[in-house]
Chains A and B, each alone.
Chain A
Amino acid sequence: MKLLLAILCLSISSAYAQYPDGKEILKKIDQNLSSDNRIFTSKMIIHGRRTSRTIESKTWTAGEKKSFTEYLFPAREQGTKMLKLDDQLWIYSPSTDRTIQIAGHMLRQSVMGSDLSYEDLMEDNRLLNHYNAVVTGAENVAGRPCWVVKLTAFDPNMAYQGLKLWVDKERNIPLKEEMYAKSGTLLKRSELSNVENINGRWYPKKIVFKDMLKDGEGTEFIIGNIQFNAAIPEYVFSKANLKK
């Protein structure tokens, strides 16, 4: 099966010989977006049916499996912390002084009414580790020339088995992403903007997510400060840290 896929990829890539290699592009994207670890503050604006609301948080991540988030705003959420290790998620709420374990199925639920699931939000998957990629064309997005890259997951556990990225030719970051179901139905679309150069890497500081099957205005995700490859002590990703 893998061989077949490889042959298929090869034959397609030879057909698009004038385009760069998909894997190379993924590698470059990962170099920009992924890191061994990172610390960032973010603001999420959720457009609900009735009101829009903003949630601010600070997140520490290391690798693909560990993530720790502390909520800063609104006041009600302040001090709430989340720890994700592999498939397990714990939430600490300061008002109740409780550490609550969230079962696996909850990871797939929307975060606070947004168009993002906990999985979407807390996972930092290197594309190269899960997807094959083929460049299928070139288009402009927001006035910038982009490669259109089609990604197909070889890892059956990926939530989105198909991705389509519009990758900035010069800066090697996606400016638009589409997430597809296995059968090819478009599920979500995100638009990435406010690209900044941080310590030599390009990073989009604003992402707008939209669930394409559902009516609604989508969710904005805006990154404030971001630090790559900082020294994060191991205790950050421990349950003891939740109560601190």
Chain B
Amino acid sequence: MSGTTTIFKRELRSYFATPVAYVFIVIFLLLSGAFTFYLGGFYERGQADLQPFFTFHPWLYLFLVPAVSMRLWAEERKSGTIELLLTLPVTMWQAVLGKFLAAWSFIALALALTFPIWLTVNYLGNPDNGVICASYLGSLLMAGAFLAIGSCLSAATRNQVVAFILTVVVCFLLLLAGYPIVLGAIGAIAPQGVVDAIAGLSFLAHFESIGKGVVDLRDLIYFVLMIVAWLYATAIVIDMKKAA
């Protein structure tokens, strides 16, 4: 476990050693604010909740999370430090997990810094804080799933731009999996069972279900499984690619 902690600390510190962290946090806060107030009509709705705030998170993450994840392994491969890291006495899992958790904590920090909007809504009215807590949890889990996907695709290439684009595309497909456009297209060629299975993979459906304030174990398990599966794939991809 100590290997994971050490790698976690190193990674997290490296975010703040470069402008990456500050740029990311500022953009995240600005965009989430702009979306909430202008697109979401936070005031105009006249309701004391954070629905307009959380609705846009999947779309914000779609571009911001791959920007964080793209460097996770691609940079290690490009600079050769992957050889240093994996010849230290740590297991592959400690390395994959340490790097992932650092990136996730970093995004959690950015998410936590949106707390003024929570204060605002409590000042303006009496929101259901249980729902807000659940939504924060759902948002964080979804970011984790995006990151795990990004981690795997970052391991697959040494080019960060390629990693970014691949991650955006895969995340976009998983987001839209619950939408009629995708489901309709698949329904035309595949049986109902497949359509249901793909609809079940939708990020949005699970995120919205948690956002209603009902924390269903199935939604939690969905995101946790998603993260574990993609991290497992990350380890496999690293093993395959380092030989080449």
Do A and B come together as binding partners?
Answer: no
Point out residues on A near B: beta carbons under 8 Å: none
